[in-house]
Structure 1
């Protein structure tokens, strides 16, 4: 109960504010999302990578993300083959289970649970997941050759891509950013997490309650909330990870489906109702499952 009150409740209250405001005022999310994508998040990412001590732990993080992604994709493909689902259903299941909400949900949870050190790992993993989601997510939503081309275009349009590259380049060159330039970056970055949390609450308010296909939804929920963290735990046992990083990665792997992936499902007609259903249910149930995982991990 202490973990729920000290970690989960403050985050849920911010989500709730975004949800209520969206239901009440019907705010246009697009300009707020654009602000977060093009200004706030790049500032947070640049600051994190600029100050981070880059070492082999970040390499292990990349390996972890790749193994987890392909393990979940493989499980989806085997399940779709067994159930004789069409390719669009398989794509919808992959979209809603392979990509977790490590940004506007995972990062604040980890901040409250593990402090600034854990948060630095969480932001790095958030960037990695954004790259993966914006490439493989677009690919599985669009499928085929055009999917690959479009995925590359989306990846190159991501401001965080250039924020990471610039921060890493400055570190490699040993160049220091003057205080008068870093101060506005740090000031802007402080607004990133609360803003994206509010956006998630607003996004959830727009997901419609429809007649769910409970067979497919149940599979998606089990894979995203239960099997994914178990796979993550297994992967962490095989690598010499920092204990804190291992906890961060397991918690991140237990996050609900990424809300932004619903946009890809809608844009490319990759079973958007199924994807939004799994996103909604995993987000609601994650309040309980993440609390339990945090209690287990300590």
Structure 2
């Protein structure tokens, strides 16, 4: 109950607020997603990289996260070939299974389960997931906009990708940003996650359940919440890493679909109804799957 009350319930209430708001006002969601992607996210990404130091643990984070991403993409492609999915369906499936919600959901779970030491490993994972979302995530979402060339260009149009290196360098050389500037950055950055979650709730109000392909949603659920942590466990068996770090990597791999994926799906028209449904279903049911996984790990 503690996990549900402390982590899940606030998340679901924000989703519900966005859902009710959209039912009443029926706004155009795409301009809101544009604001979130091109204005709010860069502040959050800068804030994250400026505050979180990168240490030797980052090597294993990069290795495990990259291998896990590649394996999930490969599985998604194989399944789409067997199931004869269209290009847009494949992109939507990959958005739903490849990127976990390691930030506003994963970090509280890790802190709750493993304490401060777990948090030291969880933060670098969250940081690297931000990099993957801003590059590979954008590439996948924009794939249907005109092929590899266009999708590649979209990565360079994401302002958040241009704040990562400056933030890392400022943090590494202990260059302090004036407090008045930092207050502005923190103020905007701290609004980003709630706004993204509200947009997801609003998008869910647009979903017509009769049009949802529940076979594909269940498939995405299985890959995101069951197969992903299993692959992470197998990877960790092969690496000489700290036992706590292994548990954190597996736990982060068991997180539901990242809310950011809904933003990209809306922005690039990559089956937003499917992606938002996968995000909601995986978020709600992860209370059960994470409880089982944490009981096995601890």
Q: TM-score range by the shorter chain?
A: 0.7 to 0.9
Where does residue 134 of structure 1 map in the other structure?
138
3-state DSSP of counterpart to 1:190? helix
1:89/1:135 CA distance change after superposition, 3 Å: closer
How far residue 137 of structure 1 moved from its aligned partner, in angstroms, is 3.9
Q: Deviations over 1:139-166 (max 9, x none)?
A: 4x45xxx522222222112122112121
Aligned positions, number: 294
Are 1:262 and 1:276, in contact at CA under 8 Å, matched by a contact in 2?
Answer: yes
Q: Deviations over 1:194-242 (max 9, x none)?
A: 2222222222222221254444443322112211121122223433556
Distance 1:271 1:34 in 2: 17
1:53/1:89 CA distance change after superposition, 3 Å: closer
Q: Deviations over 1:228-264 (max 9, x none)?
A: 1211222234335566654454343223345554676
Are 1:134 and 1:155, in contact at CA under 8 Å, matched by a contact in 2?
Answer: yes
How well do the aligned residues superpose, as a CA RMSD in angstroms? 3.5
Structure 2 residue 40 is matched with structure 1 residue 45: no
1:40/1:215 CA distance change after superposition, 3 Å: closer
Are 2:30 and 2:266, in contact at CA under 8 Å, matched by a contact in 1?
Answer: no
TM-score scaled by structure 2?
0.78
Where does residue 207 of structure 2 map in the other structure?
207
Where does residue 73 of structure 1 map in the other structure?
73
Are 1:104 and 1:196, in contact at CA under 8 Å, matched by a contact in 2?
Answer: no
How far residue 188 of structure 1 moved from its aligned partner, in angstroms, is 2.3
3-state DSSP of counterpart to 1:27? coil
Task: Kindly report which structure 2 residues correspond to 1:1-298, keeping only aligned pairs within 5 A, or say none.
Answer: 1-83=1-83, 90-102=90-102, 106=106, 117=119, 120-121=123-124, 123-131=126-134, 132-139=136-143, 141=144, 146-241=146-241, 246-258=246-258, 261=261, 278-279=278-279, 281-297=281-297
- Ranges in structure 2 where 5+ consecutive residues have no aligned partner: none
1:37/1:269 CA distance change after superposition, 3 Å: closer
Distance 1:258 1:36 in 2: 14
Distance 2:38 2:197 in 1: 16
